[in-house]
Chains A and B, each alone.
Chain A
């Protein structure tokens, strides 16, 4: 069973479109994260939710909106996609967001044309 899953795995879309990426974890963890890894492989945290509450919200454009319907899911909605949004987006989860190991999903490769 996949511990942290993301859909879709690949996403190719036009500039200006709105898209969503879904993430689910079956580990019973309380904390989930979204990261962006750009073409230079730099991995940067975007958001973190603990028990459906936002605890980390880094400086990202407000076109990016995370939504956590329950603690097993953290979806990422992106409005008005731009070329610079092209990257790999990783979802991750951990038990409590502090010292615990983070488990990453396989990533969603987003290409904006």
Chain B
């Protein structure tokens, strides 16, 4: 099993739709979680951190489920500009710090 797994997609949804994707992680000692966004041929940029209680930033909602070891990202009222690859990132700070990026979920919003 991969340490961090994401559905690669692509998710192809119409503008205005709600879309959600999950990211599962295998290390129960993982401590910090993030969603990054990467546009084609660009660098990854932070979208949002993921907190234990869940958090919202405008149209974006992130959730963490420690019991089932996954994080999720929900995008409401999707815009054309949301088309990108979404990467989940998992940090572990045990004896050997580890930073693991998921392989990304590709999202395409159609008019």
Binding site for B on A (CB under 8 A): 33, 35, 40-45, 48, 55-56, 90, 97-99, 101-102, 104-107
Contact = CB atoms under 8 A, between A and B. Distances in A.
The B interface is mostly helix, strand or loop, or mixed, namely: strand
Contacts, number: 47
25 contacts: A33-B99, A40-B103, A41-B38, A41-B103, A42-B101, A42-B103, A42-B104, A43-B44, A43-B101, A45-B101, A48-B99, A55-B97, A56-B98, A56-B99, A98-B91, A98-B93, A99-B49, A99-B91, A101-B46, A102-B44, A104-B44, A104-B45, A105-B43, A106-B43, A107-B42
Nearest to B44: A104
A43 to B, nearest CB: 4
Contacts of A97: 97
B46 A107 contact: no
B85 interface: yes
Interface of B: 32, 34, 38, 42-46, 49, 85, 87, 91, 93, 96-101, 103-104
